[in-house]
Structure 1
Amino acid sequence: MLRRLTLAMAVAAASGLAWAEEPPQSLKRDLVSVYKDAVENNADLAAARADFAARQEVVPQARAGLLPFISGGAGYSDTDTEVDTRLGTTDASRGGLLYQASLTQPVFRADRWYQLQAAKAVSEQAALEFSATEQNLILQTAETYFSVLRAQDNLATTKAEEAAFKRQLDQARERFDVGLSDKTDVLEAQAGYDTARANRMIAEQQVDDAFQALITLTNRQYSSLEGVRHSLPVVVPTPNDAKAWVDTAAQQNLNLQASNYAVDAAEETLRQSKAGHAPTLDAVASYQKGDNDSLGFTNTPNASLYNGDAEQQSIGLQLSVPIYSGGLTSSQVRESYQRLNQTEQSRESLRRQVVQNTRNLHRAVNTDVEQVGARKQSIISNQSALEATEIGYQVGTRNIVDVLDAQRQLYSSVRDYNNARYSYIIDNLRLKQAAGTLAPSDLEALSAYLKPDYNPDQDFLPPDLAKAAEAQLLGNPEF
């Protein structure tokens, strides 16, 4: 009786191993729940939120330069004076309490007005950059989540591969014992099994690393995640037009919009620097009350009449015309010109990068769509090739090396298929982020295709794969 090593048998054997135990389903978390954990606990988002709140304060700080400035104070002085005269020494003493208040209201301050406009632009820039950080967290959550699933599927594939090589080793030993093969077949099978076992250990570490990255992102512990159903639609972008996506990105990409406000802020800062050459006009009012001596009325006519408290008020306009400041203002204007040029060039560089990324990601999604179908078919073809090679080995037309190579090709195609699936999901999200349309609803849409009872050791392959491989092996024209 021929003993063909099918992929389904390897999966079943791998699923029965002790280290393939699945955590309780009640502990599984879905994509949206993980995203909510990230929003609540992600340290980078919290830092960005604090930075955004701090940068919002530039507006009231700049506006303060156009609002009244009021100050008040009090003081006490006691001055003794000795004067030598021809009649002798005369002592004089004066002093007392003094209360004073002043108000300054800018009337014409062009530099401060432009500073306020620049601050408003900076505030809008900060808001958009924070929104970009929030949007990036959506993508980061998806990337980290699906990295775990990718690592789990890779581990499941490696387990199945190890089980297949173990079965092949056992078969080679049985054939050697009955004289149907030589020791070389056993050694080749042993080498293949040892390599698969080592790869499985690495795959287990990669799963742990992927979970650790998720813990770092959310500050939450997870035992298992809901996996992706193979029924997830793999379709081309809508619309499937690169120019339409680029046009959307030019209008809605958050970082690009933020760079526009950065240019606006630089332009207003340049105007502020130029306004350093302009005159300033302030309305000034002051009030003082205190002892006659403290107010300094002693040198006025009839000063002796003021022997109690006195008050003094004044109001007026103060004009200041800058004439020469050692070249400071001119230097600041030149600096602002260069800062504006720098900001404009940075915006242009970002615009080109956004266009490039959008076009590349549009092509990537279309390629992923083709890849998923091609990789799935590759699994079917390699499964059929392996079974045919197994038959040839049993009847003596193929050797053990051919079987081992066919097995490696099969499991390599399985990994490629799963990688193509996850690449399709992530590239779709990246394309939406580049276009500025990525939102939490995209994660909710993906969650509709998550499987709560997903078991990587059983579900890393499409359910109809074995049937398709068998049909192709038998020469069914449908395949």
Structure 2
Amino acid sequence: MRHRHFWWVSSALMLVLNPVFADSDRSHYSLEQAIDTALANNPELGIMQARIEQANAQLGESLANFYPQIKASLSYQHSDNPAQAFAMIIAQRRLSFTGSDFNHPGGVDNYRPQVTATYSLFRGGQDYYRKQAAELGIETSELEKAATRNQLVNNVTAAYYGELAAMEAHEISQRSIAAVQSELDQSRIRFDAGTLLKSDVLSLEVQLAEAKDAEIQTANAIELAQSMLKTLLGLSTNEAFAINYTQQAALPAAPAVFDELLNQALSSHPELKAAEKRVAIAEQQLNVAQAAHLPRADAFVSYGSDSKDLAFSSNRDNVSAGVMVEVDVFSGFATQERIKKAEHELTAAQETARQTRLRIENQLKSAQLKLQEALSRAQVSRVAVQSAEEALRLVNEQRQAGVVTVTRYIEAEVARDKAHTRQITARFDALRAEAELKQATGFWQ
């Protein structure tokens, strides 16, 4: 008897203390409004959107390799080396065979402003593979955002129903306090009249204390749930928020067969699709590493002028153009090691995709079984509540007639409270299991 309220209070708290939380006064949010608010305000989705933009920027960076690269430069050189000084004098168009000592030219200054353009003709396909990986990166980021959205919707749904469960448990505790207080008041009158034992009064006082303790715990559970919902909805602790307590969600329908659910998950679940995209990215990165064995060809052209000062003259300008082909003959095994690294990253991505599929299958089966169990419990508990209410009514009448003890009355009330708690737990377990099933199948997407 001491722990009769702890059982159903613990059940209510288990419904609440999940990932998520809500205040009162200003607005009363329906579940749909709470979800919309979370999708608009939750910072996690903002983070995922920033990652999508990062992936777009990375694609733009990879596309830059398909355009010419143009650079402007200014160089200065001073030398009294005969060969270098002679070359600089020639480039400056001021070579004179009279009065010149080619062996002792003295110090010569050379300024060269220059514009250089280069264009990659061939890199073994590395630029193409990098572009493909970057495009896949954008798709992966979008799928990861969809997966985060699914998780957020599920968390908000679970928290919303968790608070409703706590509020209903709180009503039960308040009703229990009122009933026990009324019985206690009557019992004290009987005790004072000498028609009731002191032990019966004491038992009711203990019952009242336990009912008040349960009421305190459920009230605190509501506050915790509100705080959790505010966090998920991106609201500060000072913002007014309350859920629509009058909204009564109907019990969900029985789930489809597992194979049908699995086919839906495999075709649309964003986490699984993102894992598959990461495998494709790893394949492109492996292609990039392997392409390093192939030759590279670049075309270039530069335009500039040489002078002994910064004065520019078209009489001293010059143009250079050409093509350069190079291939790595030996890189200290760096290329081979990069290929090995890419191969291991591909293997890790493939195993991650397999692990993701197994996890989704397990989540799907678990959610399906939870929903089936909760629906069965809800059906049984509905009958149990009706029986417990009728039993308490009969015992209360017998108690008023003085044909049963207060212990029997307390037992009947505890049985009634437990029946209501089981009904609350089963109903909200079914609603939360439905939300988990939707997330596991990628339905929220």
Q: TM-score range by the shorter chain?
A: 0.7 to 0.9
Deviations 1:301-330 (A, max 9, x none): xxxxxx994222222221111111111111
Deviation at 1:272, TM superposition (A): 1.2
Distance in structure 2 (CA, Å) of the matches to 1:157 and 1:129 = 42
Q: Any idea what SS the aligned residue of 2:196 has? A: coil
2:192 pairs with 1:192: no
Relative to structure 1, the CA distance from residue 226 to residue 80 in structure 2 (aligned partners, 3 Å threshold; closer, same or farther) is same
Task: Give 1:208-357 correspondences, 5 Å limit.
Answer: 208-218=223-233, 219=235, 221-227=239-245, 229-230=247-248, 232-237=250-255, 240-291=256-307, 309-357=315-363
Give % identity: 21
Per-residue CA deviation, residues 271-309 of structure 1 (Å, 9 max, x unaligned), is 111112221111122222232799xxxxxxxxxxxx994
Query: Are residues 1:35 and 2:35 paired?
Result: yes
How far apart, in 2, do the equivalents of 1:91 and 1:214 lie?
83
Moved more, 430-439 or 90-99: 90-99
Kept after mapping to 2: 8 A contact 1:280/1:320: yes
**Shift of residue 66 of structure 1?**
3.3
Find the aligned partners of 2:337 and 2:325 in 1 and give their Cα distance: 24
Q: Distance in 1 between matches of 2:160 and 2:377?
A: 22
**2:106 & 2:27 partners in 1: Cα distance?**
91
Give the match's secondary structure for 2:323: strand
Provide Cα deviations, 1:3-35, integer angstroms capped at 9, x if missing partner.
xxxxxxxxxxxxxxxxxxx977x7422223322
Q: Is the 8 A contact 2:111 2:309 kept in 1?
A: no
Q: Deviations over 1:37-71 (max 9, x none)?
A: 22332122222222222232221122223332211
Greater CA drift, 243-252 or 281-290: 281-290
2:399 is the counterpart of 1:379: no
CA distance in 1, matches of 2:38, 2:425: 24
Instruction: Give 1:269 shift.
Output: 0.9
- Using the size of structure 2 for normalisation, the TM-score is 0.82
- Residues 381-400 of structure 1 aligned to structure 2 (within 5 Å): 381-400=387-406
SS in structure 2 at match of 1:291: coil
| Counterpart Cα distance in 1 of 2:45 and 2:250 | 30
Give the match for residue 92 of structure 1: 106
Determine which of 138, 154, 172 is the counterpart of 2:187. 172
Aligned length: 399
Bigger mean CA deviation after superposition, 378-387 or 51-60? 51-60
1:102 aligns with 2:116: yes
1:155: which partner in 2? Answer: 170
Deviations 1:105-138 (A, max 9, x none): 1111122322222222222111100121223222
1:133 aligned to 2:151?
no
**Residue in 2 that maps onto 1:424:** 430
**Secondary structure at 2:330 match in 1:** coil
Opposite residue 56 of structure 1, the aligned amino acid is: N
Shift of 1:231: 6.9
Cα distance, 1:228–1:433 mapped onto 2, change above 3 Å: farther
Q: Is the 8 A contact 2:158 2:435 kept in 1?
A: no
Q: CA deviation at 1:260?
A: 0.5
Residue 144 (structure 1) shift: 2.4
State the alpha-carbon separation in 2 of the partners of residues 69 and 232 from structure 1.
Answer: 64
User: Hey, what's the Cα distance between the residues in 1 that align with 2:104 and 2:430?
Assistant: 100
Which residue of 2 is the match for residue 181 of structure 1? 196
Q: Which residue of 2 aligns with 1:299?
A: none
Displacement after TM superposition at 1:230 (Å): 4.8
CA distance in 2, matches of 1:274, 1:209: 55
> For 2:283 and 2:364, how far apart are their aligned partners in 1?
29
What's the TM-score once normalised by structure 1's chain length? 0.77
Q: Which residue of 2 aligns with 1:47?
A: 47
Does the C-alpha gap of structure 1 residues 67 and 90 become closer, same or farther in structure 2, counting only changes over 3 Å?
A: closer
| Residue segments in structure 1 that go unaligned for 5+ positions in a row | 1-21, 295-306, 440-479
How much has 1:235 moved relative to structure 2?
2.2
Q: Is the 8 A contact 2:252 2:434 kept in 1?
A: no
- Cα distance in 2, alignment partners of residues 42 and 23 from structure 1: 20
Closer, same or farther in 2 for the Cα pair 1:234/1:44, shift >3 Å?
closer
For the residues of structure 1 that align with 2:104 and 2:24, how far apart are their CA atoms? 101
Cα RMSD (Å) of the superposition?
Answer: 2.7
State the secondary structure of the residue aligned to 2:70.
strand
Structure 2 Cα separation of the partners of residues 45 and 160 of structure 1: 42
SS of structure 2 residue aligned to 1:57: helix
Structure 1 segment 362-377 matched on structure 2, within 5 A: 362-377=368-383
SS at match of 2:74: strand
Name the CA distance, whole Å, in 2 between partners of 1:188 and 1:102: 96
Provide the rounded CA distance (Å) in 2 between the counterparts of 1:108 and 1:78: 37
Deviations 1:129-171 (A, max 9, x none): 0121223222222222222222211211111112122122223
Q: Per-residue deviation at 1:250?
A: 0.7
The offset of 1:259, in angstroms, is 0.4
For the Cα contact (< 8 Å) 2:29–2:244, is it kept in 1?
yes
- Tell whether the 8 Å contact from 2:24 to 2:240 is kept in structure 1 after alignment: no
Residues 217 and 273 of structure 1: CA distance in aligned 2, closer, same or farther (over 3 Å)? same
Mapped contact 2:117–2:300 kept (Cα < 8 A): yes
Instruction: Check 1:231–1:265 CA distance in 2 against 1; reply closer, same or farther (3 A cut).
Output: closer
3-state secondary structure, aligned to 1:179: coil
Q: Which stretches in structure 2 are left out of the alignment for 5+ residues? A: 1-22, 86-100
Q: CA deviation at 1:73?
A: 1.1
The code of the aligned residue for 2:387 comes to S
CA distance in structure 1 between the partners assigned to 2:275 and 2:242 by the alignment? 40
Q: Which amino acid aligns with 1:94?
A: V
The corresponding residue for 1:142 is: 157
CA 1:228–1:108: 2 relative to 1, 3 Å? farther
Return the alpha-carbon distance in structure 2 between the equivalents of residues 67 and 412 of structure 1: 73
How far is the alpha carbon of 1:348 from its aligned partner?
0.6
